[in-house]
Structure 1
Amino acid sequence: MGGRRCLHLLLLCAALVAASASVGSQSNRTKGRSFIGQKVETKNASVKSYTVDDFAAKILTGKLTTVFLPVVYITVFLIGLPSNAMALWVFFFRTKKKHPAVIYMANLALADLLFVFWFPLKIAYHINGNNWIYGEGLCKVLVGFFYGNMYCSILFMTCLSVQRYWVIVNPILHSRKKSELALRVSIAIWVLIFLSTIPLYLVDQTAYISNLNITTCHDVLPQGVLVGDMFNYFLSLAIGVFLFPAVLTAVAYILMIKTLNASITDVNIGKKRKRAIKLIIAVLSIYLICFIPSNILLVVHYSLIRDYGQSHVYASYITALCLSTLNSGIDPFIYYFVSKDFRDNLKNAFLCRSVRTAKRMQVSLSSSRYPKKSNSYSSSSNTTKTTY
């Protein structure tokens, strides 16, 4: 009971309380994830066949999964693929100084790009009536990348938020050691995400539904998959890789706003800091909207299956999970508003200016703005200035 009360305080949500309260009960039920598939006997013993109830059949054949979901995925793909590819190109080939923020944003763009790369398979699956024809292996890869990207994005956005707060509180010179630390943290995140998605590859994700004559990918699992194992797995992800980073991100942004408000009376930079505060609020809102609903509904869905052997919130969950992918299309625009260097590099890229030409123009513009400044002042300002 003490553990449950502690979890209640951490989650701050009645839905998660209901989910966590069921961790210790009915551990021997063999109900699968998502819609529950009941195994049926066939003449060919090597072919596994399942049936689903009327509610599941209605969702799998309805417009929600065959029209709405693919429309959202197509939109995210058309926006996310070129924008993340462009962002990644700017970070790698147009950005000379690899600040910690650049490293985190580059990794976030890479995660989004790897994610949307698999969208055509997801789109084809839904348009084809939730019928998966690409084999078990590709289904596992798609599922692994789907969940891996969500939690990878959360962790990199958390790192970026903490780093930006640290820069505001401690406006010191950029050092090589900080970049090396950011690189190590990024590698650790990739390793963590890879290890955390391994359980998804160990479970058969495809299931042939005889009463619908389709093969689903991740939408139906048989009774052979224990709900206790999958419940604990996704509950661990929701708490460890979503809740704690989300709280840390929120705290970083709140402290950042507080710090900026404390010095917003400065006439010269007041407007810029007001814009920064608005940006922080926008980024935080996007972060919460994209990830909170899907993670809450995921845990609630598992708790209902564990306690009652059914879940009618799965339709809401897959809708929330679909909407969470909007993050992959929004992130590049966040880079644009967060970083002046990114905006300048992107503009120079579109104008076909080389890095050397852009640097010369920047130096020339700086000289024209501050013609009477001493050399020592110019050197100092150039070394301490950062827009990340």
Structure 2
Amino acid sequence: MAPIEDQSNSSATVMINRTCLLDEQFLTRMMPPALTTFFIVGMSFNGLTLWIFYSHMRKKTPIDILMLNLCLGDQFFTFTYPLLIVYHSNNNVWVFGNFMCKLQVFFIYGFLLTSVFFLTWISIYRCYMIIRPIQFQNRMTRKCTIVLCVLIWSFAVFCGSPSFFTVSTFELNGKLHCMSFNQPNIEKNILASTLLLFALSFGIPFIILLVSTLLVQRKLANLTLTARSQNGRYAVRMMTIILIIFVICVLPINITRLTLAIVGQNNCTRFQQLGVVYYCCVLAIYANNVLDPFVYFYANTKYRLKLINAIKGIGFCKNLPLAGSSTQSNCES
């Protein structure tokens, strides 16, 4: 994933003039098999989720709409993997042109932020439905949720749009490259942009998620055992999964990118070592859409039931109980 930084020429291929370069040859061995696996698993999981949403959940609630948009963002993100697989399989040589390089970076940053924002709002929704259910249900209507989704997509597009002006292919050893820390003028404004990305993709969302989780746990502590098991069990699990996703997928790349920005190229040896760690952390970002389906399972009862039906191969089961329930399901033959 390329850093979005200023360049002297963003509309054409630029020549590189740096003494401290990262050895990215290991990416040709690491990225193709890993991205191919994530592509197959992500397409399968998200495809199943979209099928459940469109085929079995026609009257969508606000939480359904948020989850559907999260799934769409993950699926679109998965569509960027084939270009990356070809790029790294082709000895890190970019053959798709300068515009596609810009577009690829735009998609990566845009879909990353949409995933983060929708995960955050799903957590907020579940939190308020437990601590303020009546008031929040009256305010968070379907229309309000749709407007919120449009705003999230618009903001993600706005945040990713600088790539069209600041990212370009560049030539190194007679070969064209894209999405690399070896791009020219990488040191310009990297610290400021890294801090902004850290705040938007991890810092602010993680604080919101942590506070939401603590509020839900405090609310559940004041409920009876029966109410606690019915209202909060899956909400707490869902929020815990989202926190784990942030720690595994989003935190490492932000930390290593920030460290790279602070160390800089003056310490070339350390810069090269951190660059290897950074590229390894990039894989965690691409694994994000493989983990998000676990959020759907705990976020929504209807989706959970439909998924269990699909897995069991029962096409038209109704009232399928949750795990541990003694209620019998009614199935049509």
Q: TM-score, normalised by structure 2?
A: 0.82
* Contact 2:15/2:171, CA 8 A, preserved across alignment: yes
Matching of residue 60 in structure 1 with residue 21 in structure 2? no
**Aligned to 1:289, which of 224, 248, 269?**
248
| Matched residue, 1:236 | 196
Q: Give the Å deviation of 1:226.
A: 6.3
Residue pair 2:237, 2:298 contacting (<8 A) in 1 also: no
Counterpart of 1:122 (choices 75, 81, 84) is: 84
Q: Is the 8 A contact 1:50 1:207 kept in 2?
A: yes
Q: Which runs of 5+ in 1 are unaligned?
A: 1-31, 38-45, 364-368, 371-388
Q: How many residues align?
A: 314
Q: 1:34 to 1:338 in 2, by over 3 A?
A: closer
1:98 match? 60
2:158 to 170, 189, 195: 195
Instruction: Using the TM superposition, name which of 107-116 and 303-312 deviates more.
Output: 303-312
* Structure 2 CA distance for aligned equivalents of residues 52 and 314 of structure 1: 15
In structure 2, the partner of 1:15 is none
Q: Deviations over 1:307-339 (max 9, x none)?
A: 768833222112112212211111113212332
Change beyond 3 A, Cα 1:267–1:187 = closer
Once the two structures are superposed, what CA deviation does each residue of 1:198-257 show, in whole Å capped at 9, x if it has no partner? 1111124311112xx43211203213x6612x4323322222443112111111112112
- 1:346 maps onto 2:307 in alignment: yes
The RMSD of aligned alpha carbons is: 3.4
Partners of 1:215 and 1:319 in 2: how far apart? 22
Larger radius of gyration: 1
CA shift, 1:49, in A, is: 3.2
| Structure 2 residue 142 is matched with structure 1 residue 179 | yes
* Contact 2:296-2:303 at 8 Å conserved across structures: yes
Secondary structure of 1:215's counterpart equals: strand
Classify the secondary structure of the residue corresponding to 2:92: coil
Correspondences of 1:343-382 after superposition (within 5 Å): 343-348=304-309, 351=313, 353=315, 361-362=318-319
Matched, 1:206 2:169: yes
Residue type at the aligned position of 1:167: M
Structure 2 vs 1, CA of residues 306 and 67 (structure 1 numbering), >3 Å: closer, same or farther? closer
Amino acid at match of 2:147: R
Matched, 1:164 2:142: no
Label 1:82 to 1:33 Cα distance change in 2 as closer, same or farther (>3 A): closer
Deviation for aligned residue 1:60: 1.4
CA contact (8 A) 1:104 1:156 kept: yes
What runs of 5+ residues in structure 2 fail to find an aligned partner? 321-326, 329-333
Q: Offset of 1:126 from its aligned partner?
A: 1.3
The answer (yes or no) to whether the contact 2:56–2:306 under 8 Å persists in 1 is yes
The answer (yes or no) to whether the contact 2:105–2:163 under 8 Å persists in 1 is: yes
One-letter amino acid matched to 1:76 = F
Closer/same/farther in 2, CA of residues 185 and 48 from structure 1, 3 Å limit: closer
**CA separation in 2, counterparts of 1:84 and 1:184?**
23
Q: Taking every aligned residue pair, what percent have the same amino acid on both sides?
A: 24
Residue pair 1:260, 1:277 contacting (<8 A) in 2 also: no
Alignment pair present for 1:139 and 2:101: yes
Q: 2:283: which partner in 1?
A: 322
Q: Stretches of 4+ moved more than 4 A in 1?
A: 32-35, 51-55, 173-177, 271-276, 306-310, 347-352
- Give the residue type in structure 2 aligned to 1:202: F
Q: What residue is the counterpart of 1:250 in the other structure?
A: 210
Q: Deviations over 1:249-296 (max 9, x none)?
A: 111112112222332x52575488456534432332222221111112
* Counterpart for residue 258 of structure 2: 299
CA distance in 2, matches of 1:55, 1:290: 26
Q: Which deviates more, 190-199 or 316-325?
A: 316-325
CA contact (8 A) 2:102 2:163 kept: yes
2:131 aligned partner, one-letter code: V
Q: 1:80 is matched by which residue type in structure 2?
A: G
Quickly say closer, same or farther: Cα 1:204–1:88, change in 2 above 3 A.
same
Q: 1:227 aligns with which of 169, 185, 188?
A: 188
Q: Aligned-pair distance for 1:72? A: 2.1
